Every structure is written in C-alpha cells, then in structure tokens.
Amino acid sequence: MFKIKRLYLFVLQTFLPLFVMTFFICLFIVLMQFLWRYIDDLVGKGLDVTVIAELFFYAALTMVPLALPLAILLASLMAFGNLGEHLELTAMKSAGVSLIKVMSPLIIFLSFVSVGAFFFQNNVLPKAQVKMWSLLFSMRQKSPELDIPEGAFYDQIEGYNLYVKQKNRETGMLYHMMIYDVSNGYGYANIIVSDSGKLSMTTDRKHLVLQLYSGESFEDLKDNSTVSSRKNTGMLYRRESFKTKEILIPFDATFNRMGDETMSNQYIGKNFVELSHSIDSLTVRTDSIGDVLADKLLDEPVCGVAQRKITYKDEKRISTPVPPVAIARAIDVDSIINSMSVNDKSNVIELAKNKAERLKQEMQFKGYALEDNLATMRRHEIELQKKFTLSFACLIFFFIGAPLGAIIRKGGLGVPIVISVFLFIVYYIIDNTGYKLARDGHWVVWEGIWLSSEVLLPLGIFFTYKAVNDSAVFNPDAYLNFFRRITGRQQVRHIQMKDIVMDDVVPAVAVTKLEQLKTDCENFLSRYKKQQNYLSYWTQGYDIAALKRLSQELEATVEYLGNSTKILVVNKLMDYPVLRSLLTYNPVGNKKVGIFVACLFPIGLPGYLIGVAHQKNLKREIKSVVKVSDELLAMISEDE
C-alpha cells in the first residue's frame, strides 16, 4: 500500500492552504481590475443581478491564467519563508534532507497543476471567453436606464435631447422641459417646450410615452428639395400650442442576449485542434493571395515592355515569359530626355511618377487583404502558444518562489507580498511586451509569447542553485567584497577584545610570526621595486599565488595575536590592512593571451592605468603591514 512520507505530508499541509488562500485573493484582485475596466458598460443599465453574477463567473474563469502563477509564487514564498523563519527548514537540512527533496512533493503536485492548467486553457477557457464576451457585448448594446438629471441635457435616448429644470422624485413629474427631436436628423429638428410632463414606459418595454402639459412645439417643414428651390418657396415653419400632448418614442429597454455563434468562430473560442486547423487554412489562403499579388507584379510591363504573355486555355490562365527584345545598339535614355523641351520633360517625369504611384497604391490596396489574413493568423498562433505558456509559468514561479522563500526566511504576508508583486509586475510587463511584438508582427509569434518564460527561467535556476548550496544571495558583504575586488577599494579590519581567551599569546611565538611576516612582505616588495611597464603588466602582472600566501599568513598572525589580553595590541591589529587578490593585479594570467591584449593598445591602455594604480595601493598596504609589525614587535619587547 502506497503511503506518503510524514515529511512530504507536512510540506503539502503547509503549502496547500496557503495556495488555496492566495489563489482566491489573487483572483479577487484581478477580477476587481476587470470590474474597473468595464464598469461603464455595466452601471446604469438596470441589469439583473443574475446576469451580472453570470458575467463575473465567466470573467473569473478567464482571469485564472493571471491569478494562478501569482498565487503559486506567493504561496511558495510564504510556505518556505515560514519553514525558514521557524527553523524547520534548518532542522530538515541538518537531518540530511536536501532542499530539492523537501520541494519534491510540491514539484509533483504542481506538475499535475500544470497539466490541469493546459486542459483548462484548451477546454474550459475558450468556452468561458465566448460566454463572457457575448454577455459583455450584449450589455454594451443595452439601452441605459432612464435617470434624467436636473439642469442638464440628457442624450441617452436615441434621436432626442431632453432638458429638465426640476423634477419630483416621488411623483415622477418633470417641470420646465425642453425637448429637441432630432430623430429625422439635425437639419430637421423639432423643438418642444413644456411647463411639465411625465415619462413612462409601455408594458412591452419597447417604447417610451412622454406626456406633456401646457407647451408649444416648433417644427421646420422644409422637405428634401434643393437649396435653390427652398430659396424660391421661402422657409416654412409650424408652431403649435397645446395643453396636453403625447409622444411615443422607440426605446428598447429589454436585455437581448447575443448568441455565442459569432464569438465561437473567433480565435478566443477555439481549442488546440481547431486553432491548428484554422492556422493551416489561413496559411493556405495567405500563400494564395501572396502568389496572386506576385504574379500581378510580374505581369506588369517594365518601361512599357511586357515581361510575360498571358493566354487562356480551357479557362485556365497561362503566363509565359516574353523573350528579350534584341536591340541593335544601346539607347541613351538620358540624351533623349535632355533633347526634350522643358515642358515635355516635365510631362514625361510627371507621367512616370503618377504611373508608379498608381501602381504602388493599387498593390497596397490589394495587400490589405494579405495583411488582414496575416494578423488573423498571428492571433490564432498567439492563442495556440498560450495553451502552453500558463503551464510552464506555474513551474517557473514555483522554482523562483520556493528557493527565494528558503533564502530570505521570512513568512507571513509582508515581505512575500512585496517580492511577489514586484516579480509579477516584471513578468507582466515582459509578457505584455512580447505579446504586442508578436501581435504586430515585429517578432515571430513563439519568440514574443515565450519571452517572459525565457527571461524568468534563468532567474528560477539561479535562485534554486543558490538555495540548494546555501549561498549568500542577499548578503550585502558578499557583493561589497566583489565590488571592492573590481574597484580596488580598501576593506576596513574590525577586531574586538575577547572576553574569554582559551589560548594565551606566547611572546616568543608572536615575535617569530611577526618577524616572518615582515620578512615575507619585504621579499615580495623586493620582487617589484619598479613599476611594471605596459607589456610586462599584461604578460606577467603580480604573482597572485604569492600574494594569497602572504594574505593567509597575515590573517593567521592577526588571528593569533587577537587572543592577546592587552587592549593596545588588539587595537594595533586593526591598523593591519586586508590584503586582497584583485583582478587588476594580474588580469590575464596567461602570457600568450596577455600579448594579444597588449597588441590592442588603445583598448588595453585604460586597463593598464587602472591596474598600475591598484598595484601602487597594494605596495602601500604591504609597507603598512611591515610598519605595523615593527610597532607590534616594539610593544611585545617592552612587555618582556
């Protein structure tokens, strides 16, 4: 019987609740982003709660590709941050369990999640996108609910502009109304002014009934005759005074749901097989359009000379090349043009220019169909590639979050959320950039869609390697030391007086160590009395091995004398510089490569000047070691 190890069960129990919690939190956040984006299409339409809930359900399904990677990143950061903060990860490592073994149950679990994400992208997401966009377009087409403001024109009724100075919200009466009826066009406006009125809707919710009281209407009676005929007949208007007047206005307030057939034929509503079939069909169509355009261009005459002969046989078009025309002697076209008059020359040039522009515009117009097919094909290819990118992104974010959580060792919602949001913003920006480059045809589709994965994969490998080897990723001292090695900045030595000393300093041994250190420093300085020239710097440099031995000897002497009970001795030890092996002391390390670099004189000169300056600093530090050793010898001799 298969039984899960207690360690694996513990890791799963730590991760799964966090994963479920963060997934729904992230889904809620991206769903709120969707709401703010399309809130103008939902507000003021009088939509039923069930319709809005249905839209949000399908929108939540379409937002899963955004929420799932972020949830995995955040949950893995929190889970392994908690394990590191509570020293549980340290206990596992001390028991001989590697980080990869601790991560193995989650790797298996998230592999199943990635496979499920592919089937979700392929089977569920297309249907959810079809439903969501069909509902959204239906909501956009629905007329808004009537909410006529006071003291402002209301133009949400098609063909009418209403102005109401005051209204009674309890009775629904509208006072001091002005109505512009432009349903027949702005040139045939009918203006109605009324003391009061009331707006209601028919039972079928297809028309508005506007009941007006005590008012006048002004109507332009001009017909569709020409302007000249209207000047002859004069301008006709009709003025009407009324006590009561009823106007019936077409206004469809019902919610008409759009069918799914239109969206199902788009790229968002197709699965892997359907997308592949559509891409093949679009490729054939695009190639055929390109062949037709190419044949059209080849059939065009060059300088008035036909390049192909077109014949038809059994309603089949046959194009055969025209043999070149033999010319007895070369024609000097420039001399012919120059022999023309100025007007003739201008006419010829203008004619040639117009013909070239006409042909160019004709080809561009025909190329629009080709560009539309290419854009549609790229859309299908993008949707096809997205079936796989979500699954891969889930694994990448886990291999970023889990090692990073083990490194920073901070659980809770503080630091993990900051890091997760930062990384996800970087991922989102890169992914959007790649998507737009692929959509517009600037990059190949697969390069643009996989750009974010290509950028974040090395980051996941780096964090995993560092976490497995317990490397200091966020230790500032490690980066400062590397920076000092590059720039040559001196490192300050810090030594504290020990409260308890296990091994006392023996004066004779201390003197021996100091004298030996002093002698080795003087020997090293004697090897490099003069400044190295350009060629010797690149081919020889300083002896790095001897410098490392000298540095080790210095550190051993400092460590031994650090056990001294005399505060003056300990304070004097801090005057010792830290001898480092900078890259500029011996930049090449190989004589043949050094000769090659030295031959690149203008390029190698700045490196030589920097390296010589660092070598001078090194000599100064070694001389300081000799000076401090003499002072320590004097202190120890006085104590004896």
Question: Which of these, 630, 540, 515, lies nearest to 590 by C-alpha position?
Answer: 540
> Read out DSSP for 364-384?
HHHHHHHHHHHHHHHHHHHHH
Higher pLDDT, 230 or 426: 426
- Same domain for 537 and 626: yes
- Same domain for 164 and 136: no
**In the prediction, which pLDDT does 310 show?**
72
Number of structural domains the chain divides into: 3
The stretch 291-319 carries a mean pLDDT of 70
Considering the chain, what percentage of its residues have pLDDT values greater than 70? 87
**In the prediction, which pLDDT does 1 show?**
46
- Same domain for 75 and 193: no
Question: Which of these, 376, 375, 388, lies nearest to 446 by C-alpha position?
Answer: 388
Q: Strand, coil or helix: what is 87? A: coil
pLDDT band at 478 (very low <50, low <70, confident <90, very high): low
140-154, 335-349, 353-367: least confident range: 140-154
CB atoms within 10 A of CB 261: 10
- Same domain for 181 and 72: no
The stretch 460-476 carries a mean pLDDT of 77
The stretch 153-168 carries a mean pLDDT of 83
- Same domain for 39 and 105: yes
The stretch 205-212 carries a mean pLDDT of 82
Chosen domain end from 215, 250, 285: 250
Residue 146: inside a domain, yes or no?
no
Please, where are the H alpha helices in 318-444? Answer: 333-338, 342-408, 415-439
Residue 483: inside a domain, yes or no?
yes
- Same domain for 635 and 562: yes
Chosen domain end from 250, 278, 293: 250
Residue 154 pLDDT greater than 60, yes or no: yes
Residue 400 pLDDT greater than 80, yes or no: yes
**In the prediction, which pLDDT does 145 show?**
56
Residue 47: inside a domain, yes or no?
yes
Residue 433 pLDDT greater than 80, yes or no: yes
Question: Which of these, 304, 305, 353, 354, lies nearest to 325 by C-alpha position?
Answer: 305
Q: For residue range 86-111, what is the model confidence (pLDDT) as tens digits?
A: 888 888 888 888 889 999 999 999 99
Q: Does the predicted model carry a pTM greater than 0.75?
A: no
The stretch 73-79 carries a mean pLDDT of 91
Instruction: Give residues with Cβ within 8 angstroms of 213, minimum separation 6.
Output: 194, 195, 196, 197, 243, 244
Query: Which residues lie across from 149 on neighbouring strands?
Result: none
- Same domain for 176 and 77: no
The stretch 367-374 carries a mean pLDDT of 79
Q: Distance between CA atoms of 516 and 509, rounded to whole angstroms?
A: 11
Q: Distance between CA atoms of 474 and 470, rounded to whole angstroms?
A: 11
Residue 381: inside a domain, yes or no?
no
Residue 143 pLDDT greater than 70, yes or no: no
Q: Distance between CA atoms of 320 and 268, rounded to whole angstroms?
A: 45
CB atoms within 10 A of CB 409: 17
pLDDT band at 203 (very low <50, low <70, confident <90, very high): confident
153-157, 193-197, 600-604, 609-613: least confident range: 600-604
pLDDT band at 381 (very low <50, low <70, confident <90, very high): very high
**In the prediction, which pLDDT does 27 show?**
93
Q: Distance between CA atoms of 412 and 308, rounded to whole angstroms?
A: 76
What are the CB-based long-range contacts (under 8 Å, 24+) for 526-530?
528/615, 528/619
Q: What is the dihedral of CA 388, 391, 393, 396, to 10 degrees?
A: -120
- Same domain for 222 and 194: yes
pLDDT band at 20 (very low <50, low <70, confident <90, very high): very high
Residue 561: inside a domain, yes or no?
yes
Q: For residue range 482-532, what is the model confidence (pLDDT) as tens digits?
A: 555 555 456 667 777 776 766 777 888 888 888 999 999 999 889 888 888
> Read out DSSP for 576-599?
S------TTTSSS--HHHHHHHHH
Q: How far is CA 179 from CA 183, 193, 288, in A?
A: 12, 6, 57
Q: What angle do CA 257, 261, 262 make, to 5 degrees?
A: 85
The stretch 620-630 carries a mean pLDDT of 90
Is residue 350 a contact partner of residue 334, using CB atoms and an 8 Å limit?
A: no
**In the prediction, which pLDDT does 226 show?**
46
- Same domain for 615 and 544: yes
What one-letter code names the amino acid at 38? Answer: Y
Residue 486: inside a domain, yes or no?
yes
**In the prediction, which pLDDT does 295 show?**
72
For residue 103, with 0-12 CB atoms within 10 Å meaning exposed, 13-18 middle and 19 or more buried, which class applies? buried
pLDDT band at 394 (very low <50, low <70, confident <90, very high): very high
- HSE at residue 252, side-chain half, CA atoms within 13 A, is 7
Residue 408: inside a domain, yes or no?
yes
Considering the chain, what percentage of its residues have pLDDT values greater than 90? 18
Q: What is the dihedral of CA 595, 598, 600, 606, to 10 degrees?
A: 150
Residue 72 pLDDT greater than 80, yes or no: yes
pLDDT band at 69 (very low <50, low <70, confident <90, very high): very high
Q: What is the dihedral of CA 85, 90, 93, 98, to 10 degrees?
A: 20
What one-letter code names the amino acid at 77? Answer: L
Is residue 134 a contact partner of residue 257, using CB atoms and an 8 Å limit?
A: yes
Residue 85 pLDDT greater than 60, yes or no: yes
- Same domain for 619 and 487: yes
**In the prediction, which pLDDT does 339 show?**
83
**Residue numbers of the domain that contains 597:** 479-639
- Same domain for 628 and 487: yes
**In the prediction, which pLDDT does 332 show?**
76
Is residue 618 a contact partner of residue 490, using CB atoms and an 8 Å limit?
A: no
Q: What's the mean pLDDT when you consider all of the chain?
A: 82
The stretch 128-139 carries a mean pLDDT of 86
12-21, 238-247, 251-260, 377-386: least confident range: 251-260
Q: Distance between CA atoms of 557 and 509, rounded to whole angstroms?
A: 10
pLDDT band at 39 (very low <50, low <70, confident <90, very high): confident
Chosen domain end from 234, 250, 266: 250
The stretch 541-546 carries a mean pLDDT of 87
Give the H/E segment covering residue 522. helix 507-527
The stretch 136-162 carries a mean pLDDT of 76
What one-letter code names the amino acid at 547? Answer: L
- Same domain for 517 and 603: yes
**In the prediction, which pLDDT does 18 show?**
92
Residue 324: inside a domain, yes or no?
no
pLDDT band at 540 (very low <50, low <70, confident <90, very high): confident
The stretch 179-196 carries a mean pLDDT of 81
Higher pLDDT, 148 or 21: 21
